[in-house]
Structure 1
Amino acid sequence: MEKQVTTNRGGYLGALLNSCPDAILAIDAKGIIQFANQQACTLTERGMMELIGKSIVILYANLEEAREVNRKIYQAGGTIQDMETRVLTKSGKLIPTRCSASHLHDSEGNYIGGVGYFAQYRPWVGAEVEVRAQAKELETKLDSLVAAAAPIIKLLRSFPG
């Protein structure tokens, strides 16, 4: 059976999807990837042919993690926003991402697949900013204490022995 590859070869929709800064992946009801934009290829370190036709599970650390993400989408009523998850790259790295995703249904309400938008992020960025601000504040306090203590230190050094 020949694999159908969606490459977004042009037109407004293709340009729109490939210009999106987030990775976009769409799956069918069996969890098989049917669509991936160029950013999805970049994020996962895989070519288009390595994504299309493969199970979405290849992008998670294990089957249980993939199931947990799906459970969370169901629990949220079929749509989630900014859920923290990880994407497994071809080289084996787990990349922290924020995922917004929806289950897709046909006109009769039958589940037909899903679509996910993944943005790479560093969860510790906020903590880094806070630590830098605290370090700067402590450095300023230390400088003022050293300046205040300078006359006392000078006086102590003037005593013999």
Structure 2
Amino acid sequence: MKLRLHDDLSCSSNSVKPTGVDEEDGADDDDDEDDDEDDEEDDGVDDKNEEKEDVEHEDEDTVIFKKNCTMYIQENESWQELAVGDLCITCPNNNGDGGARIIMTTDSGDFVVEDTLTRHSTMKKECYAATWTSPKSELVVATSYQVVFSSSSDLDEFETAFSKASAYCI
């Protein structure tokens, strides 16, 4: 899964490079112009791949928040630490596909949590912590999460992004 960057943020549930980063070993952009001319002479295979990349790019999510924090999950009335790492809030670029999500990855890049927000998602904040509960469905039991940031300004930014993402959802 790829996530489109917003204000130079990056986050992923797998391994994602920031957009604009060339996958080659740092080749100059001038070389790319020559490559484009060569592609026009090819049999059109590269053109099909470029069209596919454009379609995939439309499906990328936009990261609207990314900060380092500690995440906890509520189990039997107590909070158990899940991980320390990057917490991202993403919104899909095309309105009809999916919802806003909260994604947590460890500092080493391991995927921890992906929680989908709804219009009815709410959060509470206290000190440097934010708490929210994912609504239960027929197949999933309601889950409560808590994230603790290193500053109140980080928490305020999270609250703003959470509200924006929740309002975006259907």
Q: Quick check: which one's helix share is greater?
A: 1
- Higher Cα Rg, which structure: 1
TM-score, length-normalised on structure 1? 0.27
TM-score, length-normalised on structure 2? 0.26
